[in-house]
């Protein structure tokens, strides 16, 4: 889903020469205005993107990005599609450039713009006690908000939604008929940083969480917003209690995710996927449509459509049962 982020403040443009200087790149490229940094999927011709893994090679022939941050080992791959900008550490360079465009992106730990909810501003809103709202919060018709819930700046909530007690929501777009149960935290920054001996370098998260129509988020879920892209929960998808969704994860339509499941960053699920309790999904994986993943499984590689897997590492369920008789 490609939805323009309406929330983060961005500089209009940065000269390419400035970016190259900060990244210590020597180049004779003609200077030009760069208006953003984006992933390969969404980048335009005036934006910088990045390439850090061969598993995303298929996106190179689709991207519109003219300049791509990459390293020496991937230079020969990238040069056939765009102009490669060679750096030692691709992801750290992406973080540095992102912070140039979005200098306030790391400063959202606490929203001090909060005020008490004024129920008269909204249509047929039922609400409890001790509710605080930030700036640019929109709430649709016929919604319910429970006690002690904080909706920070930059949240849009559709019609007929139920937001439970003791919930924190920020940087999120919520569709119609969505239910978010007690204790969930949605839209906080992801777990992104680069280890260093002296001081870890934090990674800006300028994406959103998008929860589509008719989804249900169980109690005590944590859903991180995206880094450059968005974290997405598809239509009619239900998440049980204590589920963790890391940054950039995409979950399709009509999925069922049971309790204590964890998703590492940038993995995607197709439609009609069912995941059993306490399963773990590693990062940057693609899980197909109609997949069934047994409880307690560890998924460490892509799974094609219509598969049933179980175990660690997760494998075809018939083989798992045969091996564990």
Active site residues per annotation: 247
In the chain, ranges of CATH 3.40.1390.10 domains: 14-101
pLDDT value of residue 150: 97
pLDDT value of residue 30: 84
pLDDT value of residue 274: 98
Instruction: For residue 283, give Cα distances in angstroms to 90, 141, 162, 264, 302.
Output: 17, 37, 31, 4, 10
Q: Give the Cα separation of 49 and 29 in Å (integer).
A: 16
Which residues are CB-neighbours of 36 under 8 A, at least 6 positions away?
10, 43, 44, 46, 47, 48, 101
Q: Identify which of 148, 151, 143, 194 has the alpha carbon closest to the alpha carbon of residue 170.
A: 151
Q: Give the Cα separation of 263 and 282 in Å (integer).
A: 6
309, 293 contact by CB (below 8 A): yes
pLDDT value of residue 201: 81
pLDDT per residue as tens digits for the range 288-305: 999 999 999 999 999 999
Confidence check: pLDDT of 45 > 80? yes
Indicate the helix (H) or strand (E) that contains 281: strand 280-281
pLDDT per residue as tens digits for the range 164-195: 999 999 999 999 999 999 999 999 999 988 87
Q: Which CATH class is domain 14-101?
A: alpha beta
Q: Give the Cα separation of 320 and 180 in Å (integer).
A: 35
pLDDT value of residue 4: 60
pLDDT per residue as tens digits for the range 55-71: 888 899 899 999 999 99
In the chain, ranges of CATH 2.160.10.10 domains: 115-323
Token look-up 């929109």 returns: 138
> pLDDT above 70 covers what percent of the chain?
98
Q: Does the domain formed by 115-323 have CATH 3.30.420.40?
A: no
Confidence check: pLDDT of 231 > 80? yes
Confidence check: pLDDT of 1 > 80? no
Token look-up 């939805």 returns: 3
pLDDT value of residue 3: 58
Confidence check: pLDDT of 147 > 50? yes
- Token pair listed for 107: 């400063």
Q: What is the pTM of this model?
A: 0.91
Please give the full DSSP string across 17-39, using - where no structure is assigned: HHHHHHTT----PPP-EE-EE--
Q: What is the mean pLDDT of the chain?
A: 92
| Residue 134 or residue 108, greater confidence | 134
pLDDT band (50, 70, 90) for residue 5:
low
Find the largest Cα–Cα distance for the chain: 66
pLDDT value of residue 29: 84
């Amino acid at each position: 889903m490609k939805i323009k982020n309406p929330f983060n403040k961005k500089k209009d443009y940065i000269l390419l020469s400035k970016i190259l200087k900060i990244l210590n790149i020597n180049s004779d490229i003609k200077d030009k205005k760069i208006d953003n940094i984006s992933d390969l999927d969404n980048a335009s011709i005036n934006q910088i993107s990045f390439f850090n893994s061969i598993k995303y090679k298929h996106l190179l022939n689709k991207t519109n990005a003219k300049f791509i941050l990459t390293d020496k080992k991937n230079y020969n791959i990238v040069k056939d599609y765009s102009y490669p900008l060679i750096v030692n550490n691709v992801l750290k360079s992406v973080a540095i450039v992102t912070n140039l465009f979005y200098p306030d992106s790391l400063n959202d730990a606490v929203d001090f713009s909060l005020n008490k909810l004024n129920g008269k501003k909204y249509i047929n809103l039922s609400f409890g006690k001790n509710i605080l709202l930030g700036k640019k919060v929109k709430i649709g018709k016929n919604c319910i908000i429970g006690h002690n819930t904080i909706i920070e700046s930059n949240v849009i909530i559709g019609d007929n939604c139920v937001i439970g007690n003791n919930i924190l929501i920020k940087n999120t777009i919520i569709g119609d008929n969505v239910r978010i149960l007690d204790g969930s935290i949605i839209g906080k920054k992801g777990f992104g940083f680069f280890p260093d001996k002296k001081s870890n370098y934090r990674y800006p998260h300028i994406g959103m969480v998008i929860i589509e129509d008719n989804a249900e988020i169980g109690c005590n879920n944590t859903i991180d917003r995206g880094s450059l892209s968005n974290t997405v929960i598809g239509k009619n998808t239900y998440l049980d209690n204590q589920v963790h969704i890391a940054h950039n994860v995409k979950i399709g339509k009509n999925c069922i995710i049971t309790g204590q499941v964890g998703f590492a960053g940038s993995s995607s699920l197709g439609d009609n996927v069912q995941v059993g309790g306490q399963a773990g999904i590693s990062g940057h994986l693609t899980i197909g449509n109609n997949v069934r993943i047994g409880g307690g499984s560890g998924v460490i590689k892509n799974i094609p459509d219509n598969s049933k897997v179980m175990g660690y590492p997760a494998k075809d369920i018939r083989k798992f049962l045969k091996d564990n008789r």
